[in-house]
Amino acid sequence: MRIDVITIFPGMFAPVLGESMMRRAQDKGLVEFAVHDLRDWSGNRHRKVDDRPYGGGPGMIMRAEPIVEAVRAVRKMAEPEGRLVLTSPAGRRFDQSVARELAAEKRLVIVAGHYEGVDERVRQHLATDEVSIGDYVLTGGELPAMVLVDAVARLLPGVLGAESGAVEDSFAGGLLEYPQWTRPAEFRGWPVPEVLLSGNHEAVRRWRREQALRRTLERRPDLLARAELSGEDRKMLEAPRRESAPGREGGDQDEPAGS
Ligand code: JDE
């Protein structure tokens, strides 16, 4: 997959794309990133890419012409043309299913939105997708573009290790993760649940499933409503809580405050 990003802050991307999983994905040849400075297509010697809104009002608007010229030039750099994604608070909410959809593409071109918005003609005539990463307003679309890139690239075959199938499956199932512990079995008097030390794989599987279900019910009932639940799942959710869920509500195993 090739991902092109068009931005007024190209320097923001190197520290993120140049490290960790994104670095390894590029080194393995699984994904190629190219970041482009929108100002190179400003068409004026001040490299100005914004202007005042028609009809008046506060703030500045991204001009259509630099974006159209940048997209045209960037598209010519590689095949296929690919979808054109605009990041903005007015877009379709980005989630794991959108990430999967975008990960199926061979090419993406992302325009990081800025100022109070972009000239509407960019939306009408150029963008195939407008994506929001959540209901808050950022100073620019660079962080949303990086969020998209990370969520999409990690889904490409070979980017993660052998565990990737399982990690993706757990969200594909539509539930939150069950809680996990690692050594030591007791730390500061805080124990790991017995069942996980029992070696009883079937008991562990059932306990984890129940934890994931209860946690999802409590924290994200919206996810639970869309999840695929088995008969066993429904029984677990209907059963009275046999044991308090891990967390702080038990309290009795903690040190008294201030000790
Ligand atoms: C992306 N979630 C938040 C911000 C904007 C007032 C109105 C709009 C058209 O492009 C943009 C892009 C951004 C930056 O992205 C986000 C975002 N998902 O904030 C505006 C700013 N102020 C417009």
**What is the identity of the amino acid at 36?**
H
**Stated pTM of the model:** 0.90
Residues 106, 110: Cα–Cα separation, whole Å: 13
More confident residue, 164 or 251: 164
Task: Please report, to the nearest 10 degrees, the dihedral formed by the alpha carbons of residues 90, 13, 79, 159 taken in order.
Answer: -100
What are the tens digits of pLDDT across the range 170-209?
566 789 999 999 999 999 999 999 999 999 999 999 999 9
Ligand 1 within 6 A of 144 CB?
Answer: yes
Residues 175, 81: Cα–Cα separation, whole Å: 36
Task: For ligand 1, atom 10, name the residue with the nearest CA.
Answer: 113
Residues 185, 203: Cα–Cα separation, whole Å: 18
Burial bucket for residue 161 (CB in 10 Å: 0-12, 13-18, 19+): exposed
Q: How far is the CA of 132 from the centre of ligand 1 (A)?
A: 8
Sorting pLDDT into bands at 50, 70 and 90, what band is 257? Answer: very low
Catalytic, out of 116, 150, 168, 233:
116
The number of angstroms, rounded, from the C-alpha of 144 to the middle of its chain's C-alpha atoms is 8
Residue 240 falls in which region: left (phi positive, over 0), alpha (psi -120 to 50) or beta: beta
Name, in order, each residue with C-beta under 8 angstroms of 221's C-beta and a sequence gap of 6 or more.
Answer: none
**What is the identity of the amino acid at 148?**
L
Q: Is the pLDDT of residue 258 over 80?
A: no
Q: Is 154 a catalytic residue?
A: yes
Beta-bridge partners for 130: 86
More confident residue, 8 or 167: 8
- DSSP 3-state assignment of 204? helix
Beta-bridge partners for 51: 61
* Token pair listed for 196: 């996980």
- DSSP 3-state assignment of 15? helix
Catalytic, out of 89, 179, 193, 246:
89
Q: Is the pLDDT of residue 20 over 90?
A: yes
Q: What is the mean pLDDT of residues 17-43?
A: 97
Residue reference for tokens 């923001």: 12
Residues 208, 222: Cα–Cα separation, whole Å: 20
Name, in order, each residue with C-beta under 8 angstroms of 214's C-beta and a sequence gap of 6 or more.
Answer: 236, 237, 241, 245
Q: How far is the CA of 134 from the centre of ligand 1 (A)?
A: 10
